[in-house]
Structure 1
């Protein structure tokens, strides 16, 4: 039971500490955006995610309050209490005989299992839906474009290209056996080039593994509402950093075309998806930040470039 108590204390401490760090980092984002590259800002979040997954504890060597010193005082106070007060205290102690950490641990574990089960079922349903409705890409021009982009990016891993009528924006599914899914609406060739490069950058950087770590941190701290806000911010930074890679060494006209492609892709709200899927869609809330980042040609501090 002592180990459970230590674990619960460590979990709560790291949740509060990492939340404070994450909120400060989010508050500083407008300043950091002007000075540092998006990729560096994105990977800096890993420190917070690792801190949430592995509960670090930094305690002083000496306690601020010496329990042994307080014990005689507490005993003396108990001796001075009336019989009625003593009876009420004993009754309260009996009613709360279950340690707080045992109750908190049970609730926490139930929440983790519920969170994992819900998203596992949702992900499995999404994968099954995609397998049922998607078909192989037959457009030779699109397949050749995928092959050319892969060769240019030195990606030797086999990547499937499929069309799925039940999605409204392109997305990357899978890490070991990656599949790029495209909506059934025809995508112009110049926009498709941007889409394929965007999704292949996700694949090359192993963003699926990063998303899995964020998912695990969110599951462990499901009770902390700020963790969900940080997860959304990381997802947005993932897309912004990917945009930055796509338009790197691109002139203003190319950047404008890419921004227009993103706006065109998010006209329709995606009907369904999964937390473990990389989507071209970044959300309307983050659209403004993405477009501003795409059109930003200022040189950034190389210290945060990877």
Structure 2
């Protein structure tokens, strides 16, 4: 446990430095790099906080000399043990057997680093349980307050346009919510019960299906895992927020890529109107 916690601390320090550096450079990178590459840059930081890359470096020299060192130590230990046994059997160096040590009660020692290690593990478990429970409650609430949309020609057109073959359910929510995509195994798109014309409805479907096509939900789940492992690090939450923002920006950019000016304006107006209705 101690070694795992040490590894997490090193990964957390790496992520904090990289996140701080990217936040400082964000005004520059947001202008010089595309939204897609900005998302990948933040994802690279996530990988750095999850994967201890130094553990994959081969230690050839250590493996080469390790057997010799072990053999030498074993032979030395055996020689020392034989000398000690001989002295004891002969009554010690002066011919007198050493007195037996009185039985002492073992002392319980608590290492402060071990204590922090177990506190970290408890925090990870609690974070995962609370996060999973809140997400399940969130899904159950929205499913209960929604009805299934059996057939929608506009939705099928957008799916064909984006070349998506996966079955995705569409539900109309009676709750005050904005359009959203949930579920990796059984994906569902929730739409608010707000009347939309065909073009606006198409814009909404394009946005949510683009999230599905770009696997943005997977990135958010991985971001949640980073938050759980590094729950004590405030930069992990900054990283998670930036991942969510970069996914949204990259999605919007991909949707409007081949649109003319009027269509872009309609898209932005539709997204902003639905967001405002949720707030109100």
Counterpart check, 1:147 vs 2:156: yes
The higher-RCO structure (CA 8 Å, 6+ apart) is 1
Q: Is the 8 A contact 1:169 1:270 kept in 2?
A: no
**Aligned runs of 1:121-140 on 2, under 5 Å?**
121-137=133-149
Q: Please report the TM-score for the alignment, with normalisation by the length of structure 1.
A: 0.71
- Confirm or deny that 1:192 pairs with 2:201: yes
Question: 2: distance between equivalents of 1:229 and 1:182?
Answer: 29
Measure, in 1, the Cα distance between the counterparts of 2:155 and 2:23. 36
Match of 2:9 in 1: 12
**Aligned position for 1:31:** 28
Q: Distance in 2 between matches of 1:189 and 1:47?
A: 39
Which whole-Å CA distance do the structure 1 matches of 2:141 and 2:225 have between them?
24
Assess if the C-alpha contact under 8 Å between 1:135 and 1:164 holds in 2.
Answer: yes
Q: Deviations over 1:43-95 (max 9, x none)?
A: 22221111111234589x9xxxxxxxxxxxxxxxxxxxxxxxxxxxxxxxx99
Distance 1:39 1:154 in 2: 20
Q: State the match for 2:43 in structure 1.
A: 46
Q: Give matches, 1:65-144, under 5 Å.
A: 97-137=109-149, 143-144=152-153
Q: Which of the pair has more CA radius of gyration?
A: 2
The unaligned stretches of length 5 or more in structure 2 are 60-106
**Structure 1: gaps spanning 5 or more residues:** 62-93, 272-306
SS of alignment partner, residue 172 of structure 1? strand
Q: How does 1:269-288 map to 2 (within 5 A)?
A: 269=278
* Structure 1 position 15, deviation (Å): 0.4
Task: Give 1:222 deviation, angstroms.
Answer: 0.4
Give the equivalent residue in structure 1 for 2:63: none
SS at match of 1:267: helix
2:188 to 179, 190, 204: 179
The alignment status of 1:225 with 2:259, answered yes or no, reads: no
Distance 2:20 2:258 in 1: 33
Find the counterpart in structure 2 of residue 157 from structure 1: 166
Assess, with a 3 A threshold, how the Cα gap between structure 1 residues 132 and 47 changes in structure 2: closer, same or farther. same
Compute the displacement of 1:186 (Å): 1.7
Paired residues of 1:170 and 1:181 also in contact (CA < 8 A): yes
In the alignment, is the contact (CA less than 8 A) between 1:149 and 1:196 conserved in 2?
yes
Q: Residue 246 of structure 2: SS of its match in structure 1?
A: helix
RMSD, aligned CA: 2.2
**Does the Cα contact within 8 Å between 2:175 and 2:192 map onto a contact in 1?**
yes
Alpha-carbon contact 1:170-1:180 (below 8 Å) kept:
yes
| TM-score of the aligned structures, taking structure 2 as reference length | 0.77
SS of the equivalent of 2:46 reads: helix
* 1:1-49 per-position Cα deviation (integer Å, ceiling 9, x unaligned): xxx3322222111101111111211221221121221011102222111
TM-fit CA distance, 1:269: 4.5
Contact 1:175 1:208 in 2 (8 A): yes
Aligned length: 231
